[in-house]
Amino acid sequence: MNFDGTTYRQKLGTAMGTKVAPTYATLTLGYLEEKLYKTVEENFGVECKHFIRNSWKRYLDDCFIIWTKSTDELQSFYDILNSMNPNLKFTMESDENKLPFLDVMVMKKEGKIVTDVYYKATDTKQYLLYDSCHPKHIKNNIPYNLARRLCTIISDKDILNVRLDELRELLKQRHYPTLLIEKGIDNAKLRDRNSLLQIQEKPVKNLIPYVSTHNPKNQEFFQVIKTNMPILENDPRMKDVFSEFQLIKSKRQSPSLKKILTRAKFNNTEETAGVKKCHHPRCGTCPFLQETEQFIFKNGRKFVIHSSFTCESSNLIYVMTCSGCGEHYIGQTGDTLRHRMTVHRQQIRQTEYQCTAVSGHIKTCAENIFPNFTVFPIYKFYNKTSEKERETKEKHFISLFKPKLNALS
């Protein structure tokens, strides 16, 4: 029997992205299995529990069991399985002669179980074209890896030879050189199936990766470095470090058109454009900040902002408006708006700091009004800027809106 908890996996997959879904599926199914064994024992006795426990195979949520009991018992077992959790619905597939499980077709042949490779009906077998722009070592390894997979999965020699012939044909169609195909197949056949089935534990060695960006037009330096590594390995001063290391070739993918043309991150700030007070209890700028999405100049000109700002925003252009006469001043800062306004307020308050004409104007023009000016940030730089860049933008806004208080001197 082959069971598949598809509904569950799809739900998990959508909810959490495909990366963590397998972990959750394994955890959940593992937990439910314990519950399952208990229920089976309560309903069918301890002998049946042992049978299920020993025959039940699972990869993530794909389950497999060779059923040696009656069809009625199978139906009862299937019902128990589907009553475990309302969110988890299993589908069952059963056949007396052959049944796929993952990428393996399990079959009965002369009273024995044999395995063949299983391809889903949707598998187009469009292997990487040999003349594609991928790193050569990847393409060169494909025949061996595909052949090794067949040698691992297929238990019957005759079936294996048929499948390897099919592979030869497929790879030829994808422009792989005949010699490379034969070499790959021979290498895979050379290995004994039992050793292929065993998990190979590689000796842990310290690795030094040589990372370069893949480009078939670039000169390959790895071989040059590798050839010259003995210079370091044999050097009396360096050999302690380098003799224990293994140099490996690593390729960084060059940016694809998709990567060049699209951004992975959305700029959320642009979606909620507007100015908001920070509401920090000790913020001296909040009372001076205008909370709108568009700014209307005294002459009626409107300016709609596309960024979001608070008192803590930095690297920006702002407009100050005198509360007495309603005239404007445009300024820039690389610092936070809050800090810049603190300086402005201090200059307005204390005559000895009045190094700008605007502070002197506001002090007298809006003497008994609170707040004596308001501020509105209009433009945000998203990248690091120099003072000069900000000044250029500031000049642009000044020439555009001609604020009177900038003209004072």
Q: Which is nearer to Zn ion, 176 or 318 (CB)?
A: 318
- The owner of tokens 């077992």 is 77
Nearest-approach distance from CB 288 to Zn ion, in angstroms: 9
CB count, 10 Å around CB of 121?
A: 4
Q: Which is nearer to Zn ion, 85 or 269 (CB)?
A: 269
Q: Which is nearer to Zn ion, 28 or 285 (CB)?
A: 285
Of 324, 334, 360, 371, the one binding Zn ion by CB under 5 A:
324
Segment contacting Zn ion by CB under 5 A, of 42-50, 85-93, 324-332, 385-393: 324-332
The reply on whether position 283 binds Zn ion by CB under 5 A is yes
Nearest-approach distance from CB 371 to Zn ion, in angstroms: 12
Nearest-approach distance from CB 322 to Zn ion, in angstroms: 3
Nearest-approach distance from CB 129 to Zn ion, in angstroms: 60
SS3 283: coil
Side chain identity, residue 277: K
Alpha-carbon distance of 367 to 372, in angstroms, equals 7
Enumerate residues 6+ apart whose C-beta is below 8 A from 52.
36, 37, 40, 65, 77
Of 275, 286, 330, 398, the one binding Zn ion by CB under 5 A:
286
Alpha-carbon distance of 368 to 378, in angstroms, equals 27
How far, in Å, are 293, 317, 318, 402 from residue 302 at the CA level? 10, 16, 14, 13
**Per-residue mark of binding to Zn ion, 325-364 (x: CB under 5 A):** x---------------------------------------
As beta bridge partners, residue 107 has: 98, 114
Subset of 29-88 contacting Zn ion (CB under 5 A): none
Of 365, 375, 378, 398, the one binding Zn ion by CB under 5 A:
365
Nearest-approach distance from CB 333 to Zn ion, in angstroms: 15
Nearest-approach distance from CB 301 to Zn ion, in angstroms: 18
Of 104, 180, 208, 278, the one binding Zn ion by CB under 5 A:
278
Of 377, 233, 404, the closest CA to residue 319 belongs to 377
The reply on whether position 232 binds Zn ion by CB under 5 A is no
The reply on whether position 322 binds Zn ion by CB under 5 A is yes
130 DSSP 8-state letter: T
Of 2, 28, 115, 285, the one binding Zn ion by CB under 5 A:
285
How far, in Å, are 2, 11, 119, 273, 404 from residue 66 at the CA level? 9, 28, 21, 62, 88
Nearest-approach distance from CB 405 to Zn ion, in angstroms: 7
SS3 230: helix
Segment contacting Zn ion by CB under 5 A, of 24-32, 225-233, 237-245, 281-289: 281-289
Q: Are 117 and 154 in contact (CB under 8 A)?
A: yes
Subset of 302-321 contacting Zn ion (CB under 5 A): 311
Of 345, 296, 322, the closest CA to residue 404 belongs to 322
SS3 398: helix
Segment contacting Zn ion by CB under 5 A, of 4-12, 100-108, 174-182, 270-278: 270-278
Q: Give the chain's length.
A: 409
Q: Which is nearer to Zn ion, 81 or 311 (CB)?
A: 311
Segment contacting Zn ion by CB under 5 A, of 60-68, 236-244, 280-288, 298-306: 280-288
Q: Are 16 and 68 in contact (CB under 8 A)?
A: no
Point out which residues bind Zn ion (CB under 5 A): 278, 283, 285-286, 311, 322, 324-325, 365
